[in-house]
């Protein structure tokens, strides 16, 4: 079973914020694949479905970003999901809005959700889709910025990057990740 994990913060207050772009992509994938993310176990909302003959689990940890690994680890253990079948979607300040960076592995960098996953999973060897949200403007703290909503001017590019990240992740279900990386690394407009 492939496991697609989108990082974000639970609750209405955080919907459509920069830190929740991982949740946005999981919601898009759920819609595209007709998988309901309505089950709850180990502090995670999740749903299981089938795409092109492959079982797929979509996961949205409900622990808040900085504790993402707390729910993910027991869920992966419960369903006996191998790390090479896991892909994580999350926001990245070091990439401009509209850019995707797919990687086979990596450190948490400055991202607390990824640090939590690496700690609880005891590995950095799982696939990831880093989704650019840009750096905060001068005078804005990182915390305030990542918890802010996307501006009206950013909405068109946000829609494109969510669609493209969804498309890349769906291809991961059936195709070799190296090929998906080659096709999707870069800006949404090519």
51: annotated active-site residue: no
Tell me how far apart the alpha carbons of residues 135 and 175 are, in angstroms, rounded to a whole number. Answer: 32
Q: Does 14 carry a binding-site annotation? A: yes
Residue 182: count of CB within 10 angstroms of its CB: 11
Q: Does 112 carry a binding-site annotation? A: yes
Q: Does 145 carry a binding-site annotation? A: no
Q: Does 80 carry a binding-site annotation? A: no
Q: Residue 45: which residues within 8 A CB-CB, separation 6 or more?
A: 10, 37, 38, 39, 59, 60, 62
Given the structure tokens 């830190």, which residue do they identify?
Answer: 19
**Active-site position among 19, 51, 111, 120:** 19
Q: Are 91 and 22 in contact (CB under 8 A)?
A: yes
Tell me how far apart the alpha carbons of residues 14 and 91 are, in angstroms, rounded to a whole number. Answer: 14
Which residue ranges are tagged as binding site for tRNA?
Answer: 14, 64, 66, 112
Which residue ranges are tagged as binding site?
Answer: 14, 64, 66, 112
Catalytic residue numbers?
19
């Amino acid at each position: 079973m492939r496991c697609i994990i989108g990082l974000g913060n639970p609750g209405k207050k955080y919907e459509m914020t920069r830190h929740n772009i991982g949740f946005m992509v999981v919601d898009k994938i759920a819609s595209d694949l007709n998988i309901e993310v309505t089950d709850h176990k180990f502090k995670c909302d999740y749903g299981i479905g089938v795409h092109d003959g492959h079982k797929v689990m979509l996961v949205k940890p409900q622990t808040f970003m900085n504790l993402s690994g707390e729910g993910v680890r027991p869920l992966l253990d419960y369903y006996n999901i191998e790390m090479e079948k896991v892909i994580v979607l999350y926001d990245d300040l070091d990439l401009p809005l509209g850019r995707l960076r797919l990687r086979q592995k990596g450190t948490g960098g400055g991202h607390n959700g990824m640090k939590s996953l690496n700690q609880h999973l005891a590995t950095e060897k799982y696939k990831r889709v880093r989704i650019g949200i840009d750096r905060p403007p001068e005078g804005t703290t990182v915390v305030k910025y990542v918890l802010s909503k996307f501006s009206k001017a950013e909405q068109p590019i946000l829609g494109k990057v969510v669609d493209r990240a969804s498309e890349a992740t769906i291809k991961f279900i059936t195709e070799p990740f190296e090929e998906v990386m080659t096709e999707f690394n870069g800006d949404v407009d090519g």
